[in-house]
Structure 1
Amino acid sequence: MNVNAALYKPIGLGVSVLGGLAANAAFRKIWRATSGDDKAPEPTDPSQTWRTVLIGAAAQGAVFGLVKAAVDRAGATGYKKMTGHWPDDRAEEKAG
């Protein structure tokens, strides 16, 4: 592990935690606006349909994936702006 990757590790962890919180808040807001419910149905809830459970799971996965990618990318970009180096210079070398 190079120095930049080692320095970024605790920052990346903090960014990921904040990203998870942001993703959860975004998903709850989207789900509430589209379904009227405060949270997505549990897969084992017998009162829910297959359709509702699967749509909820797909939407949650999409929101979490999108927010995580955006937050991770923003964290790496911010790190580069502060230090002049990408968090993992090996990845930057591969990119050209």
Structure 2
Amino acid sequence: MKPSTTLKWVTGGMEAFLAIPVLGGLTVMGFGYSPLGLMLILHIITLVFSAKEGQKFHGSIWGIVASCLGWVPFVGWALHTITAIILMIDAFASGRKEKGMQV
């Protein structure tokens, strides 16, 4: 499995966790909004790996936006949800493509 695919699964899962309405918000606020900074760094790393490997990277762009605007209550929830879905779909499609399956 390519590093970009693994990173998409990891960041997609983390975004899905942050998209849980109360739990995600309390986690972000409880750690002083540092999870958003961590996610920003991870999305940038995923973007770089995806670009180097010729993979889709729009999920990482959404993740960067979600990390920057995640502190806004309902906007953050929506962005984390959209980002998680896009990253999971990208990771699934990339994994199938690597195995030579029809996507």
Question: TM-score, length-normalised on structure 1?
Answer: 0.42
